Amino acid sequence: ERITYEATEADGVP
Amino acid sequence: DFVRTPEGYFRPNTTLEDGALVLRLDPVSESTVRDALATEFDRAPEYVQTAIREGTVTVNEDDVYEESRFYVVRDGTYYLVEPTANEYVVTGWGWRDPPHIAVEAIRLGGWIAGVALLVRAGEWSERGRREA
């Protein structure tokens, strides 16, 4: 199984 | 470690006063919470660093210690790195996986053999009845 990760800028605390 | 309320962020704090344990929630700034929760870029796993550099990254499940989200800070910018898609790849068959045409041929062969067996069985039972 292959997993794709995506990075996004976080405005606040997740 | 932190409590989030509409009024802001607080950190639990306990002190012993005259034999009584006093629990306080001290207000802390959001940036304090961010710094406490975020992983430094250099200390994040390699594939997480790649995701931040290039936007996305695709890795094998075996190379991931734990499938989870990452909150990372790099040069003052905060990033959320999270799994978005899983692709199931069939492994283990490799060259043994017969081509479609071969599967069809095997299936057709099975039908022909089955019908031939029925005809032959009919002949055998007819012969048995005649000899009796």
ipTM score assigned to the predicted complex: 0.92
* Nearest chain A Cα distance for residue B19, angstroms: 37
Tell me the per-residue pLDDT of B82-120, one tens digit each, with 9 for 90 and over.
998 777 666 666 566 778 898 899 999 999 999 999 999
Gap between the Cα atoms of B113 and B119, Å rounded: 10
Tokens standing for residue B40: 């430094």
Count of other CB atoms within 10 angstroms of residue B100: 8
Facing residue for B37 by CB, picked from A4, A8, A13: A13
Q: Does B28 touch chain A (CB under 8 A)?
A: no
Q: Which residue of B has its CA nearest to A3?
A: B86
Residues of chain A neighbouring B55 (CB-CB closer than 8 A):
6-7
Q: Which amino acid is at B80?
A: L
Give the number of residues written for chain A.
Answer: 14
Gap between the Cα atoms of B131 and B124, Å rounded: 11
DSSP-assigned letter for residue B45: -
